[in-house]
Amino acid sequence: MNSAAKRPKATISIIGDRFMLPSMFEKAIRAKCDGELDIRTYEMPWPDEPMQHGYAEPGMGGLKEYQGTADEIVAYADGADIVVTHLAPFSAGILDRLPHLKLIAVSRGGPVNIDMEAARQRRVLVVNTPGRNASAVAEFTIGAILAETRLITRGHDSLRRGEWRGDLYRADLTGEELSEMSVGVIGYGHVGTKVVRLLKAFGCRVLVCDPYVQLSAEDLNDGVVQVSLERLLAESDVVTLHARVTSETRGFIGAAQFAAMKRGAYFVNTARGPLVDYDALTEALKSGHLRGAAIETFAVEPTPPDLELLRLENVTLTPHIAGASVKTVKYAAAAAAEEVRRYLAGEGPLNPC
């Protein structure tokens, strides 16, 4: 009898949604895992219905960016050894109600929907899929930069209003080409490194600020320069943000940083809303100190309808969709499936949290 036949039956609960499809999780798991598997799938209604972004939900212990109530998640995961999910919350109280649970595979970069301390205390292994959407966000960032700097958004908005803005061809209004710009990249992780690689094709000067990592030999040879935040802000025509949210970076781009940027520069955020003081950004855009901004994430999501930033003309706005690509889904499903395979085979995890 082979080892696969000897392996005990595993019960796996897949709690997906309308982006991270349960069917794609299941297909990836069955392709990687031998042996008898009891797989149950559930589909949450995100993104058609918003996730919970706050910290104050009773009984959720400070979790954020999740969807589903405690009773729903317990019903979906009851009796499971393994849960594979994207947005399902796991607070201490929920974990207490799932005594069989041994592994949670979260298809995202940060397990903010999991109470990690509670999981450790209960010996529940949590793994994630870092870099799952890095390629998608990097490509989107280039698109956002071009949309804002080359006035693509202005032309689109005017035509939708029935207005032909030939004045956008005027030399005092039209945008510069990336080949003539200095672009500052804040954060040199999974996304930032890919943004740098894509920017090289445009021939622009690239500055990078990240105090915790060093540039690759390839980037150094290609003329990318690692600088302080102060120098990056002072010298960049475009500043694009790719840092993670930590106690150090929360709100670290504010009024002083916008004032330190070149007059007429552009600001791009495809990272996270809590990194930025959006009231200060609004004032910098209204005053004309910044020529424009491309904003993909916000301090509060969904955005309040009366948010002044939404009414400014010199912005390109998108509703937190930079990471949305089919490649992201396939990559994350495969990465989560590999973690399940390794767990069932008695191998160590690749990405323990």
Residue from 154, 205, 242, 272 carrying the catalytic annotation: 272
Residues 120 and 249 in one domain: no
Residue from 150, 244, 301, 342 carrying the catalytic annotation: 301
Omega within 30 of 0 (cis) for the link into 211 = no
Structure tokens at 182: 């200095």
Residues 276 and 192 in one domain: yes
Query: How far apart (Å, rounded) are the C-alpha atoms in residues 300 and 102?
Result: 34
Residue from 40, 320, 341, 342 carrying the catalytic annotation: 320
Domain with residue 210: its CATH number is 3.40.50.720
- Rounded to two decimals, the pTM is 0.91
| 320 among known catalytic residues | yes
Q: How far apart are the first and last CA of the chain?
A: 35
Residues 149 and 297 in one domain: yes
| 291 among known catalytic residues | no
Residues 87 and 208 in one domain: no
Calculate ∠ Cα 209-215-220, nearest 5°: 110
Beta strands, E only, 69-152: 82-85, 103-106, 125-127
Q: Tens-digit pLDDT profile for the chain (353 aa)?
A: 444 444 457 899 999 999 999 999 999 999 999 888 999 999 999 999 988 876 667 778 889 899 999 999 999 999 999 999 999 999 999 999 999 999 999 999 889 999 999 999 999 999 999 999 999 999 999 999 999 999 999 999 999 999 999 999 999 999 899 999 999 999 999 999 999 999 999 999 999 999 999 999 999 999 999 999 999 999 999 999 999 988 999 999 999 999 999 999 999 999 999 999 999 999 999 999 999 999 999 988 889 999 999 999 999 999 999 999 999 999 999 999 999 999 999 999 999 99
Q: Which residues does 311 contact at the CB level (< 8 Å), separation at least 6?
A: none
| 108 among known catalytic residues | no
The number of angstroms, rounded, from the C-alpha of 115 to the middle of its chain's C-alpha atoms is 19
Residues 170 and 257 in one domain: yes
Query: How far apart (Å, rounded) are the C-alpha atoms in residues 173 and 171?
Result: 5
Residues 310 and 336 in one domain: no
3-state secondary structure of 96: helix
Query: How far apart (Å, rounded) are the C-alpha atoms in residues 310 and 324?
Result: 22
Answer yes or no: is 352 within a domain.
Answer: no
Residues 197 and 276 in one domain: yes
Taking alpha carbons only, the member of 121, 123, 126 closest to residue 89 is: 126
